[in-house]
Amino acid sequence: MDVSVEVIQEVEMDLPVDVDDLLTKAIMAAASYEGCETVDVAVTIVDDETIRELNRTYRNKDASTDVLSFAMNESIEDEPDIVYDDLEDEIEEQPLGDIVISLPTAIRQAEEYGHSLERELAFLAIHGFLHLLGYDHMNEEDEKEMFSRQRAILEQIGLTRG
């Protein structure tokens, strides 16, 4: 399994956890659970203002949120297609996408839900990763499937609720 996780911290804050290691571990566990052979993901840690602007720009929702996912295989209306014809032999893997997590929201949610910041950040990374793979929670059945997968992956890395 070839997993590449780039963690970009746009928010400077002393945290009780090594965010790079934690998010890499969470994404690797999710990739393994989902049977992904090759994964190239960027996870960016931002503030509430930045994620609110991204949410407004790309989802037309003028509100802060905890996590956003931007899949490379997803297209936006009127977006030009990216053609790899000339480079196909040179490109072994294409990026899966980007995950953006609001650190202040993760801190608030960890406190609100009564679990560690480590568990909340891992949950958000896994949640974002599953969205990159096409999972969603728009109806009850899909939500059950997605959240069941999240729980199983968190259990694999020892980050259960509580």
Binding residues for Zn(2+): 127, 131, 137
| The two structure tokens encoding residue 155 | 């259990």
Tell which residue, 6, 67, 1, 81, has the closest CA to residue 37: 1
SS3 (DSSP) at 27: helix
Binding residues: 127, 131, 137
Q: Residue 27 carries which side chain, given as an amino acid letter?
A: I
- Alpha carbon distance 97, 80 (integer Å): 17
Contact criterion met (CB below 8 Å) for 159 and 119: yes
Q: Where are the alpha helices (DSSP H) in 9-139?
A: 19-33, 48-59, 103-113, 117-132
Query: How far apart are the two ends of the chain, measured CA to CA in Å?
Result: 31
CA distance 118 to 107: 9
